[in-house]
Structure 1
Amino acid sequence: SRVDGTWHCFWNLTPDGEAMAYVSSVDLIKWKPQHFFMASEKGKYAVENCNEPIRKTVWIGDKQVTGWALKVAYKQIIAMNRYGDHRAYRQTLRGERTAQDGSRFAGLKPVTARIKVEEENTKPISEHLIGVFFEDLNYAADGGLYAELIQNRDFEYSPKDGNKDKDWNSMYAWSVQGNNAIFTIGTDHPIHANNPHYAILNIQEPGASLVNEGYGGIVVRKGEKYDFSMFSKIMNGKKGGKTVIRLMSKDGKELARTTLSVSSRDWRKQTAVLKAVADADSALLAISPQVEGEYALDMISLFPQKTFKGHKNGLRADLAQAIADIHPRFVRFPGGCLAHGDGVDNIYNWKETIGPLEARKSAPNIWRYHQTRGLGYFEYFQFCEDIGAEPLPVVAAGVPCQNSGIGGPSHHSTDIITSNGQQGGIPMEEMGQY
């Protein structure tokens, strides 16, 4: 602390102390922006005319605590206590729940009010005032409004998504049923650089299946048709051949079936239609090669043909219609925190959400799961057009949400300071691409 009452705080920015951080405050409550510098430059930030703290051990209640002690004016202690009380009060308000209303408002007395409507003084309300706000939160896109029924279709789930599930990786939602088959993940020669992972299914003896569980199960209805597609190729010089595609109930009942031939040595997209013969709320998709070989599979997709307005790669008809029935005058997309992302590199870039699905760049979701970007800017504008709503796209301001970061330096980092200090934002010369 300086004699003039300014507080100065220094700490190591890196474990070895090569880079440091500095911040100051006049009251220990409001702090100025942080500064970062190399330890070799410490002389520039040396504090002159300061009161040095002393090392001291004291008792606080029944606990012995050792730390740094410094004599300050009592008014500063009062101000900090007042601030602490205010923070505690605010936290109490944030903790209030409607379930507590009975006791919180138990002492309220009836109130009689008289309302007089003066029709001559009415004012027009903008017809564009009421709309909807969409954010990919709690699986609002993948597994929600977006009609795709296959979870992790691109095998791009990653621990970097931040999900707490220990099994959250490229194999999530996929499994092998049956024997004599090995399921691994490949990265050599993918469909597209933006989609680097794919499944490798080594069939040593026919009978096994690669199975997807969907989002808590795949809902199918009797008589309905479903569009199946996948990219595939045969590896290591094998011939490949007939592959059976099925929808199965969890108890093994076959709900729909079709066949494809996987024999190309280069990536090839194949499509088929599955027609359900019974209802199921928790069906599984099973891919069963009938010939020994090593199969590479990616972008495995299943859509109901009855999407909203019948669009390919469309939206779930019932949910989209529920939004349409509100008659929103605008639709805000893709979100708030999601748009600003978890770190600079995770800021929502609309250009990565358009074009062929296999070329779109999937990304971690700030809400700790994954976004395929199958519901991207094109699908968003198309939906707005379908329901007669004005699009209100959210474009990030170039800084990450709450100065967050997935971990490690961003691709904008150039040295120790920009790799470890506050990320700041997207360099001005790169703002145009967003």
Structure 2
Amino acid sequence: MKPNLITKITLCGFLLNGLYSQAQSKLEVNTSKTITKIEPTMYGVFFEDINFAADGGLYAEMVKNRSFEFDDRLMGWKQPKSDKHNYNTESGIAVPVQFSQKGTNHNYCRVTVKDAKGYEIINEGFRGMGVKSGAKYNLTLKAANQSGTISKIIVQLIDKDNKVLGESSIAVSGNSWKEYTTQLTSNATEAKAKLRFTFEGTGVIDLDMISMFPEDTWKGRKNGMRKDLVQLLYDMQPGFLRFPGGCIVEGRTLAQRYQWKKSVGAVEDREILINRWNTEFEHKPTPDYFQSFGLGFFEYFQLSEDIGASPLPILSCGMACQFNTGELVPMDKLDPYVQDAIDLIEFANGGTDTPWGKVRSDMGHPKPFNLKFIGVGNEQWGPDYIERFKVFEKAIKSKYPNITIVSGSGPFPEGDYFEYAQTELKKLNAEIVDEHYYKSPEWFRKNVTRYDNYDRKGPKIFAGEYAAQSVAIASPENKNNWECAFSEAAFMTGMERNAEVVHLTSYAPLFAHEEGWQWTPDMIWFNNLESFGTPNYYVQKMFANNKGTDLLAITQDGKALIGQNDLFASAVKDTNTKEVIVKLVNTSAKAQDISIDLKGTKLESKGKIITLASSDLNDENSFSNPKKLSPKESEYTLKGEKAALNLPAYSVTILKLKIK
């Protein structure tokens, strides 16, 4: 019995080894032959003011409705109440006053203090104010003492239980408007802090532009950006920054469109506008969502420069959102919209002797921003868009022939709208066409070959908005789970393999506030104190940090690896870092062994391997576990010209090898 049993076990072993050998994927990379150059803009970021991404997010202002310009003039502000009245007017009352219907800053707040010990006015911030122990916060306000004996404003940071976390005061005098400043230091960390004002003396005092920023902003800029959020963008090494949207560009109506000229100059002169996302979805109404434009076009250009990204502004083409009113500017009244585009290029690139170049210079940036791209429209569709695009293109090219114009193909990656746009834009020799896709994870895996047959002589592609939807587009139940992330990675190998056609790509949306969001999924989540990158973020970062400069062929049996055995891959060379970089995505539930034959260039034996993996399709990162799914890096030793790798189930792997 024993010899027979041993024979059977040995035979099984040989059979298993044979199956194992057959199952192993053997790949080839020609490291010396460049297929095409990879654009520096291949992987970028798309910013839109959705999900409290600007006010309450990236823009570090902590006071909501700082200039009393919201539709409800005192939204965000609280004052004493009584059982009988909405406001306890016995101690005092704050009343918004409209002093002008012209210009941009129309209102201020008139505070009547009858009982200095009983009256207070409190700002609640954006779902609270996040303050950190030992951190400093700079407060500014404008005040005018109208009558009475008010000599001092006491300013306090308080927690959710009204305990004082930090205090300062401002001595006020005179009945003309003056700007006052002070600094508060918090003695504790609190996510739901508020800002309280009390008074010494009684009388009437007017207040306006009450503003508070952390001292520790990105690059230490006064009234600047939230440091942790910019750091996450900087770490991605993005090739471009697209701004300010998105549907925010179009507006629900033309009057509510984004007008860049209203977003530059002195902050207090920038006109506040209701945010189009505040009532867009019944599942998440946010009636307190407005745009202060403190984060305006100058700041977007500056942010682009700060993170090493090429600026890509998108402008209204005279069409309101076609999912809303679809309001159109008549063709004979389109000139002001076109002029906005011409003037924006001058604002970004013009000399200080030009009108808009001087505006930029006066804001603190005499040097041009080196704008190379401009987008006309967001995701408009149909003949009305094409007709307007022609006018913009002719005007821009006649004055600025070197500016590359980005056009749009509508909101969907297929169908009548898409096909019409593609046909018409190709006739016009459009330079770059923006495509959007919010689809299921399965769609991303099945469409890896989307660009394989695109015309190499036709328009280049900007994959301007994409994200795998775990449930359905616009569903509040969408998750930033691992299946969505690695499915996007698989699709990205297809975009990278087609770098001759695909020149820019960006996930969307970028940011979401834990409590103020409207749309999911989103790449980066934050609350008032913390932020974290989703698995989707780490996929984007892995590709962007390793985009390379030259596309190489990676094949199996002479064919591109586009899903055989649930494997997807792309390969590049980086002439700057002198590396060969191979990206591999295993979408199978089983680990897989592969062998890569690296031909053409001699490589160092020591390299790196970066892996992002989870066996759970539903894994997510969170505030409690922000790096549950994050890349792990280790050394790799190459033996000869063949790299042997074990790819974990459901994984994204990057192999980096130095060129000798």
TM-score by length of 2: 0.43
1:101-112 residue pairs with structure 2 within 5 A? none
Return the alpha-carbon distance in structure 1 between the equivalents of residues 97 and 131 of structure 2.
31
* Partner residue in 2 for 1:234: 145
* Partner residue in 1 for 2:411: none
1:111-126 residue pairs with structure 2 within 5 A? 114=25, 116-119=27-30, 123=35, 124-126=37-39
Contact 1:199 1:296 in 2 (8 A): yes
SS of 1:383's equivalent in the other structure is helix
140 and 115 in structure 1: CA distance in 2 versus 1, 3 angstrom threshold: farther
1:220: Cα distance to partner? 1.0
Match of 2:73 among 157, 167, 170: 170
Return the alpha-carbon distance in structure 2 between the equivalents of residues 200 and 433 of structure 1.
37
Q: Please, which moves more after superposition, 390-399 or 170-179?
A: 170-179
Cα deviations across residues 238-296 of structure 1 (Å, max 9, x unaligned)?
34311101111122221111111233322221111111122222111011121111221
- Write the letter of the residue equivalent to 1:380: Y
SS of 1:351's equivalent in the other structure is helix
1:177: Cα distance to partner? 3.8
SS of 1:337's equivalent in the other structure is coil
- Write the letter of the residue equivalent to 1:232: A
Q: Which runs of 4+ in 1 moved over 4 A?
A: 112-115
- Write the letter of the residue equivalent to 2:238: P
SS of 2:249's equivalent in the other structure is helix
- Write the letter of the residue equivalent to 2:74: M
Structure 1 unaligned runs (5+)? 1-111, 159-168, 406-420
1:392-411 residue pairs with structure 2 within 5 A? 392-402=312-322, 404-405=324-325
SS of 2:148's equivalent in the other structure is coil
- Answering whether residue 257 of structure 2 is matched by residue 352 of structure 1, we say no
Return the alpha-carbon distance in structure 2 between the equivalents of residues 364 and 189 of structure 1.
19
* Partner residue in 1 for 2:59: 146
Instruction: Kindly report the root-mean-square deviation, in angstroms, between the aligned alpha carbons of the 2 structures.
Output: 2.3
1:261-300 residue pairs with structure 2 within 5 A? 261-300=171-210
1:26-65 residue pairs with structure 2 within 5 A? none
394 and 113 in structure 1: CA distance in 2 versus 1, 3 angstrom threshold: farther
Contact 2:141 2:208 in 1 (8 A): yes
- Answering whether residue 157 of structure 2 is matched by residue 247 of structure 1, we say yes
Return the alpha-carbon distance in structure 1 between the equivalents of residues 143 and 236 of structure 2.
42
1:234: Cα distance to partner? 2.1
Contact 1:343 1:423 in 2 (8 A): no
Contact 1:221 1:276 in 2 (8 A): yes
148 and 330 in structure 1: CA distance in 2 versus 1, 3 angstrom threshold: same
- Write the letter of the residue equivalent to 1:173: G
Contact 2:320 2:327 in 1 (8 A): no
- Answering whether residue 42 of structure 2 is matched by residue 129 of structure 1, we say yes
Cα deviations across residues 319-375 of structure 1 (Å, max 9, x unaligned)?
110111011011011002101112111221111111111111111111123100000
- Answering whether residue 124 of structure 2 is matched by residue 213 of structure 1, we say yes
SS of 2:322's equivalent in the other structure is helix
1:133: Cα distance to partner? 0.1
Contact 1:256 1:275 in 2 (8 A): yes
* Partner residue in 2 for 1:327: 237
- Equivalent residues, number: 297
- Write the letter of the residue equivalent to 1:156: E
Cα deviations across residues 149-203 of structure 1 (Å, max 9, x unaligned)?
1111122222xxxxxxxxxx2211110147511121111259x830212222211
Return the alpha-carbon distance in structure 2 between the equivalents of residues 338 and 274 of structure 1.
35
* Partner residue in 2 for 1:6: none
* Partner residue in 2 for 1:342: 252
Match of 1:377 among 277, 285, 297: 297
Match of 1:317 among 220, 227, 235: 227
Contact 1:239 1:263 in 2 (8 A): no
SS of 1:320's equivalent in the other structure is helix
Q: State the identity %.
A: 36
- Write the letter of the residue equivalent to 2:334: M
352 and 425 in structure 1: CA distance in 2 versus 1, 3 angstrom threshold: farther
189 and 398 in structure 1: CA distance in 2 versus 1, 3 angstrom threshold: closer
Return the alpha-carbon distance in structure 1 between the equivalents of residues 330 and 240 of structure 2.
29
